[in-house]
Structure 1
Amino acid sequence: MTLIIQRLLLPLLLTLSLNIGAQGPAAPPPPELNVKGYLLIDFYSGRSLAEFNADERLEPASLTKIMTAYTVFRELASGRIKLSDPVMISENAWRTGGSKMFIEVGKQVVLEDLLKGMMIQSGNDASVALAEYVAGKVESFANLMNANAQRLGMTNSHFTNPNGLPDPELYTTARDIARVTRALIREFPQYYTWYSLPEFTYNGITQQNRNPLLKRDPTADGVKTGYTRAAGYCLVGSAKRGDMRLISVVMGAPSPKARAEASLALLNYGFRLYEADKLYPVTQPLVKLRVWAGEREEVAAVPQWDVVATIPRGQYGQLNAYVEKLPNIEAPLTRGDRLGDIVVRLGEEEILRVPLVAFEDLPKGGFWRQAKDSLLRLF
């Protein structure tokens, strides 16, 4: 069932009636970048705004740690581990080469510190310590990483370790890395803010955040650098200006300067040529939907998250939105249960789909209410 959203979208519908069919000028091509692959996406929809070799399998280097962080965050959300947990550091973690947090073998480190040491200082040692604590050994943790990758639709990725040190079976793509980064920001905003911390001190050693975007773009708040000789210089960036958030992925740049400049070029390209409009906030009920066999006949519904449409500048008049309602919604309902989708189109193209969920609990009705609704449904 399709419902046109009229109450909240009335100004937009009026604009449509005046401007439908109007097209803005063709967008200029994205910048030419000296990298192996790149991708720029809109955070809210996941749509690609610019790309090159985005599906080519490449070595991720320390971009791997985005998936490591996401996997640990999911364990935190499950309640199986806590930020305050003390983690005993093994000799295996202590001996891990490359960038370090400088943890010491045989000592306990609070899990939150290990996360920050990995996210801010890119500690390979911290990554291994986290993996061993969560799953017992690195190989078992890699299995969790791959299970999460499969769940997120990262079809061209395979992880063998939590830190990105070279391995012939470790690979991903710019598109897959953007996918896990988007999921991390959406699902765990409380932890994502750590990526913007300028420095972190552990064991008397202060190390600066390795992300150059934080100093060069005041709207940037993440995410992660990476480097090995085979992978080249990599950088996942994210910035938010107004209601628009973009995620850029640069892989295989020839130098640290090149990866920073490529990331800034992509982000500036997106912010210059696109605009974002918050159509419906997550806090405001959007429609009321018919429910069968409930204490009440209707339930208020809200988007699961803010509905923000990112579109080429000057094309607001091409937007249209409607609700696709699930058939035969039945009580009982719990706040947050999915009831359908909000679909946003730009002209004929679907650009955004956001789950529509129950704003409130709705218990099952009594015998007479259920009997009445059973008769009504027959007709």
Structure 2
Amino acid sequence: MWVIVLLKKITAFLFVLLFAFPNVAYSSSFSASSVCVMDMTTRQMLYENNIYEHRSVASTTKIMTCFLACKSGNLDKTIKITSQMLDECEGTMLYLKAGDTVTLYDLCVGMMLASGNDCANAVAFTLSGSLKAFADLMNSTASKLGMNNTHFITPSGLDDDKPYSCAYDMALLSANAMENEFFSEIVSMQSAEVTVSGEKKTIYNHNKLLGYNLKDGEFVGIKTGFTENAGRCLVSAKKYNGNTIICVTLNCPDDWDAHTYFTEICEQKYNAVSISNVISIDTVGSEKAYVKCTYNKKRYLLGSVKVLEYYFPFVYAPVKKGDKLGEVIVYYNNKILERLPIEADEDVKEYGKQQSGTPSKVYG
């Protein structure tokens, strides 16, 4: 039997410290055509400017191509490169040749780090059999994700035929893609070794934000892009106090500095939330009437949390400091954010003869 306690967002024991910050202002020093900054967990907008304007997004298109490959579950599959896969390739390349063999995983690495258009085409043919069929898959997936201002034509983002998207849609796509462990692993690499026809080669990520020495977090992805039509495009993901901030700039000449600036000022929108309580659980078989338990965790979040406590109504002595006597479940945005153990803060010695039976004393 458990004691279940629901602590609402503000009680005597759950302290939620909310700090009021001014609205984030747009800096005129950055000339991006579109900017979208989004919290990855909640999809809440942290900053927006022309987020629904249709624009070419260049090689950030490869975010969708890689996402679909990672979702396929066949990343270990070995692909034989055909001349058909290479027919319409130009621009940045891994310089694959017809007859080469390479895994689907390494094609994704080549596509996201070196921005290989040949890798993107090879992925498209592997998953769908043709560029047209793959474009259909890209667009149907975009529709399911709620990307209502997007139309893909190529897997690489070459924009001769005028594909388009918008900053909001690219942020939404990136938030979904970064939840895939294979995708997030690939886009966080500063460099990687790929194997083509048994020959290893080292490639380097075009994303210069990776490895930045920041005092308040780190960039962990995701993709650069450039064409004459699109201008400089950049999608980044930054870790900040347990959160991930997605930032998209389209047609922004100074995108490296812009992403550092926008993510830093948007961090001010997160509130310091202290999740804590002191619990007394009755004891049986000891001179001490109860054992004291506490938990304490600080998080930075955009809103309130709901906390459920599960713990025994009583425990039998002896109890050792650190014994797990229950669990706290923290809900945020209607999902489980984390689980915290409820542990004894002290030893409780046994007094006299313990009652018969073997009641459960430690949760788990």
Same fold (TM over 0.5): yes
CA distance in 2, matches of 1:25, 1:180: 28
Cα distance in 2 between the residues matched to 1:91 and 1:17: 63
- Corresponding residue for residue 43 of structure 1: 40
* Aligned: 1:54 with 2:51: yes
Q: Say which is worse superposed, 25-34 or 158-167, in terms of deviation.
A: 25-34
What do the CA deviations read for 1:50-75 (whole angstroms, capped 9, x no partner)?
11101101101001000111111222
Equivalent residue number for residue 301 of structure 2: 310
Q: 1:52 to 1:228 in 2, by over 3 A?
A: same
Q: 1:14 to 1:127 in 2, by over 3 A?
A: same
Distance 1:276 1:138, change over 3 A: farther
Cα deviation code 1:326-355 (max 9, x no counterpart): xxxxxxxxxxxxxxxx986xxxxxxx3438
Alignment match, 1:140: 133
- Amino acid of the structure 1 residue aligned with 2:225: G
Alignment counterpart, residue 80 of structure 2, candidates 84, 88, 92: 88
* Cα separation, partners in 2 of 1:214 and 1:125, compared to 1, 3 Å: same
Distance of 2:331 and 2:7 partners within structure 1 = 13
Task: Give the 3-state SS of the residue equivalent to 1:265 in structure 2.
Answer: helix
Task: Give the Cα–Cα distance (whole angstroms) in 2 for the partners of residues 209 and 136 of structure 1.
Answer: 28
Kept after mapping to 2: 8 A contact 1:44/1:309: no
User: Partner residue of 1:226?
Assistant: 225
Aligned equivalent of 2:12 = 14
- 3-state secondary structure, aligned to 1:7: strand
Provide structure 2 residue ranges, at least 5 long, that are not aligned to the other structure: 277-298, 309-329, 338-364
Residue matched to 2:91: 98
Find the aligned partners of 1:130 and 1:18 in 2 and give their Cα distance: 47
Aligned mates of 1:126, 1:276 — CA distance in 2: 43
Cα gap change, 1:189 to 1:217, in 2 (>3 Å): farther
Check the 8 A contact 1:244/1:276 in 2, yes or no: no
Q: 1:128 aligns with which of 103, 115, 121?
A: 121
In structure 2, the residue corresponding to 1:261 is in which secondary structure?
Answer: helix
Cα distance per residue 1:86-117 (max 9 Å; x no partner): 21212233341011112111222111111111
Letter in 2 for 1:31: S
3-state SS of paired residue (2:27) = coil
SS for the counterpart of 1:215 is: coil
Q: 1:105 to 1:310 in 2, by over 3 A?
A: same
Aligned counterparts of 1:125 and 1:163: Cα–Cα separation in 2: 8
- Mapped to 2, the partners of 1:178 and 1:109 lie a distance apart of 30
Q: In the superposition, relative to structure 1, how do residues 200 and 25 fare at CA in structure 2: closer, same or farther (>3 Å)?
A: closer
Question: How far apart are 1:120 and its partner, in Å?
Answer: 1.3
State the superposition RMSD in angstroms.
2.9
CA distance in 2, matches of 1:7, 1:244: 27
Residue of 98, 102, 105 corresponding to 1:109: 102
Q: 1:158 to 1:343 in 2, by over 3 A?
A: farther
Q: Deviations over 1:154-211 (max 9, x none)?
A: 000011110000134410011001111111112x123311111111344554331000
Aligned positions of 1:335-374 closer than 5 A: 352-354=333-335
Residues in 2 aligned to 1:10 and 1:208: alpha-carbon distance in whole angstroms? 48
The structure with the largest helix share of the pair is 1
**Cα distance in 2 between the residues matched to 1:17 and 1:249:** 34
- Residue type of the alignment partner of 1:200: A
Question: Separation in 2 of the partners of 1:224 and 1:25?
Answer: 30
Is this contact kept in 2: 1:62–1:122, CA < 8 A?
Answer: yes
Residues 213, 260 of structure 1: 8 Å contact kept: yes
Q: Which among 190, 207, 221 is matched to residue 182 of structure 2?
A: 190
Q: Residues 250-283 of structure 1, C-alpha deviation per residue, up to 9 Å, x if partnerless?
A: 11013xxx01111111111122442465979xxx
Q: Which has the higher strand share?
A: 2
- Cα separation, 2, equivalents of 1:171 and 1:86: 32
User: 1:215 deviation in Å?
Assistant: 3.1
Q: Deviations over 1:31-52 (max 9, x none)?
A: 3321110111111101111111
Which amino acid counterpart does residue 118 of structure 1 have in structure 2? M
8 Å contact kept, 1:244–1:275: no
1:167 match: secondary structure = coil
Instruction: Name the count of aligned residue pairs.
Output: 282
User: Percent of pairs identical after alignment?
Assistant: 27
Match of 2:65 among 58, 63, 68: 68
Work out the CA distance in 1 between the residues paired with 2:192 and 2:15: 54
Are 1:178 and 2:171 matched, yes or no? yes
Counterpart in 1 of 2:345?
A: none
Distance 1:30 1:279, change over 3 A: farther
4+ long deviations beyond 6 Å: 15-19
Q: Which amino acid aligns with 2:259?
A: S
Contact 1:121–1:200 (CA under 8 A) maintained in structure 2: no
Distance 1:97 1:18, change over 3 A: closer
Instruction: Work out whether residues 7 and 14 of structure 2, in 8 Å CA contact, stay in contact via their aligned partners in 1.
Output: no
Provide the rounded CA distance (Å) in 1 between the counterparts of 2:9 and 2:335: 21
Query: Contact between 2:270 and 2:300, CA under 8 Å: does it hold in 1?
Result: no
Question: How do residues 206-221 of structure 1 correspond to structure 2 at under 5 angstroms?
Answer: 206-217=202-213, 219-221=218-220
* Equivalent position amino acid for 1:139 in 2: K
Going from structure 1 to structure 2, the CA distance change for 1:23 and 1:253 (only over 3 Å counts) comes to: closer
